[in-house]
Amino acid sequence: MPIWCINPDCNESNSEEQRDCQTCKSSLVFEWGESYRIIWSNIGTKEKPWIAEKKLPDGVVISRVYEATNGTQTSILKVLYSTDQTYVRLFEREFDLLDRLNRERRESKKNNCSFPRVPEVPNHPDISGQVNFKLKRDITVRYLMMEKINGQNLTEWKESNNNTKVTEEQAIQWLKEILIILNKIHELNFVHRDIHPRNIIKTPNNELVLIDYGCVREILDNVDTQLTQVFSLGYTPNEQVRRKAVKQSDFYALGHTFVYLLTGYHPRAIERQNTDWRTLTENISISFLNLIDWLKEEEIERRPNNIKVILDCLNKLKDGEDLETWMQRNNHEPIDEELAIDYLIKLA
């Protein structure tokens, strides 16, 4: 099995027994509780063995994501090449959030309490894990090891299932699962900022896992800098484009994610066609359609205030049926005055 060098100016493969790259002499071993090495990912290519990368407009590499192995299991290794303090701060936030979520999850298991699935961080020394490249000048990089979540992201899942539209029952269940994960993130005063179908993994046992915490921002930071702007076409709200993301920004992205799942069309494609997305759905109740529209309101103030109110609405949808469905089931027979008054009082 070839072992890859992470030096962005090298990227050469080496044999398994080597500890340093035979081309540039960079270290090939990453210590994170155990020794890990970069391996080829079927997502990458021979020339580009990494899974993903971020670059500046001038081509300078900021970070890359690789698959790594300790000999028995495959993990995800994220490497930060940039020394810019903005990117360093984002990198440390990602580690901090994942670490805190993992600690809460372990504590919940001890107390036999449920906790949403999040990428696990293996036993680690601390965030200061670094490798020095032995080039013309020493280059220090930070790296973060985390669990590889097996499964398909929701875009891959849709494409492998002939772009099948999800049912309302499935959509309600999935939305609840993601909201429970997101609630834990918001409780720790973070905003995810990059929710879209490719960042949600459906595991073989049908769990949903929200991934990619590299763009999280603490809510106490009122304004993002230009360097930390996050933009996913069709899923990013206007306030986030203006670098002023809030909790409700995640709701907007979640709403458009479910537009894609319910219609099979990318939100931007629907916008370009100037089509009402509701007309592209099948057998979805008016109440659930209204809920999705509520999540993706353009104005922050018109979106839900918090996750609890969204979950309350979902529970009501799951436990009962909306009035229009009830009327259809009863052949649109008029209700009596007493029942009408009772309904009005409850609505009020």
> Is residue 171 domain-shared with residue 311, that is, in the same domain?
yes
How many domains is the chain partitioned into structurally?
2
* Beta partners for residue 153, in sequence order: 201
pLDDT of residue 55 exceeding 70, the answer is yes
Please provide the average confidence, as pLDDT, over all residues in the chain.
83
Count CA atoms closer than 13 A to 201's CA, side-chain side.
Answer: 16
Are 307 and 179 in contact by the 8 Å Cβ rule? The answer is yes
Q: What is the DSSP letter of 120?
A: P
Residue 221 has pLDDT above 70, yes or no: no
Question: Would residue 213 count as lying in a domain?
Answer: yes
Residue 210 pLDDT greater than 70, yes or no: yes
111 in a structural domain:
no
**Is the predicted pLDDT of residue 348 greater than 70, yes or no?**
no
Burial 267-285 (b: 16+ CB within 10 A, else e): beebeeeeeebeeebeebb
258 & 180 share domain: yes
Q: Please tell me the distance from the alpha carbon of residue 230 to that of residue 215, in angstroms, as a whole number.
A: 7
Spatial distance between the Cα atoms of 182 and 255, rounded to a whole number of angstroms: 13
3-state SS assignment for residue 146: strand
DSSP lists the bridge partners of residue 217 as 191
Predicted local confidence at residue 121, as pLDDT: 85
- What is the arithmetic mean of pLDDT over 90-118? 89
For residues 332 and 214, membership in a common domain is answered with yes
Among 95, 139, 142, 141, CA closest to 121: 95
292 φψ region: left (φ > 0), alpha (ψ -120 to 50), beta (else): alpha
Contact 182, 254 (CB under 8 A): yes
- Rounded Cα distance between 214 and 97, Å, is 10
Residue range 308-346, pLDDT digits in tens? 999 988 887 765 555 565 555 555 566 566 656 655 655
Q: Tens digits of per-residue pLDDT, 271-315? A: 999 899 999 999 999 889 999 999 999 999 999 999 999 998 888
Confirm whether 94 is domain-assigned.
Answer: no
Tokens encoding 240: 């986030």
Domain shared by 213 and 68, yes or no: no
CATH code of 226's domain? 1.10.510.10
Structural domain boundaries, residue 70: 3-84+120-147
Read off the pLDDT of residues 136-160 as tens digits, 9 standing for 90 and up.
Answer: 456 778 888 899 999 999 999 999 9
- Asked, for residue 171, whether it belongs to a domain, the answer is yes
Do 131 and 158 lie in one domain? The reply is no
> Does residue 20 share a domain with residue 78?
yes
pTM value is: 0.83
The CA–CA distances, whole Å, from 93 to 28, 188, 338 equal 26, 12, 56
Largest CA distance in the chain: 86
Domain boundary pick from 129, 147, 165: 147
DSSP count for the chain of H helices, then E strands: 10, 14
Taking a C-beta distance cutoff of 8 angstroms, is the pair 145, 122 a contact? yes
Residues 302 and 197 in one domain: yes
